[in-house]
Chain A
Amino acid sequence: GAVVSQHPSRVICKSGTSVKIECRSLDFQATTMFWYRQFPKQSLMLMATSNEGSKATYEQGVEKDKFLINHASLTLSTLTVTSAHPEDSSFYICSAFGTSRHEQYFGPGTRLTVT
């Protein structure tokens, strides 16, 4: 199956700093990628849909100026958490559909801890 990678897998940062998370589709081109956030013992929450070459579509309640998404190529989308705060500490997961809508492939996730 298709492979999606994320980097870094874990990051600890200080409050007020910014963190960039990369999501790559390794063996296929992804015109659309999704960014999710998952708090402990809760289900996935879609944050935004990232479209190659255009602006991301954010879900209600997600601050687009705080969570900057760039999808500059067909294999790379980045999520930048700006001015991070402890409440932003979470598990961030990206995903992409392959050549069809029958399977959505997930990256391994990035554990963000803001101190």
Chain B
Amino acid sequence: GQNIDQPTEMTATEGAIVQINCTYQTSGFNGLFWYQQHAGEAPTFLSYNVLDGLEEKGRFSSFLSRSKGYSYLLLKELQMKDSASYLCAVLGDSNYQLIWGAGTKLIIKP
């Protein structure tokens, strides 16, 4: 079956660094996405990885290892506004349909 796992909740301190992990088992792989979702709002796109390695975009970086079925999202210099849910999603066999993880709720403390 198709399965994506990520921690339910994480807590971090303002100014610090946090890494949110995602492991996946899917019947196909055409890329992995990370989205940010604030409460009551729609998800917003953060990153897309299809090749192994690290993609850096400002304070956010995303890493992918296809052989391990593993990705992480790294958030640096945490700000209070980073408190949100972070969703990991895989584009599997289907041409356009994403397989979603349950999301990780990130709580930032002062």
Contact = CB atoms under 8 A, between A and B. Distances in A.
B41 A109 contact: yes
B40 A46 contact: no
Interface centre among B41, B42, B97, B102 (most CB of A within 10 A): B42
B45 A1 contact: yes
Nearest to B30: A101
A70 interface: no
Given A49-B97, A97-B96, A103 B103 contact: no
Interface residues of A, number: 22
Contact of A109 (B42, B87, B97, B101): B42
A44 interface: yes
B31 A34 contact: no
Interface residues of B, number: 21
Specify the main secondary structure of chain B where it touches its partner: loop
A54 B88 CA distance: 30
A34 B87 CA distance: 17
A93 B105 CA distance: 19
B31 A102 contact: yes
Given A101-B91, A102-B31, A104-B33, A43 B100 contact: yes
B100 A44 contact: yes
Nearest to A51: B96
B48 interface: yes
A107 B97 contact: no
A107 B44 CA distance: 9
7 contacts: A34-B98, A43-B102, A93-B42, A93-B43, A101-B30, A101-B31, A101-B95
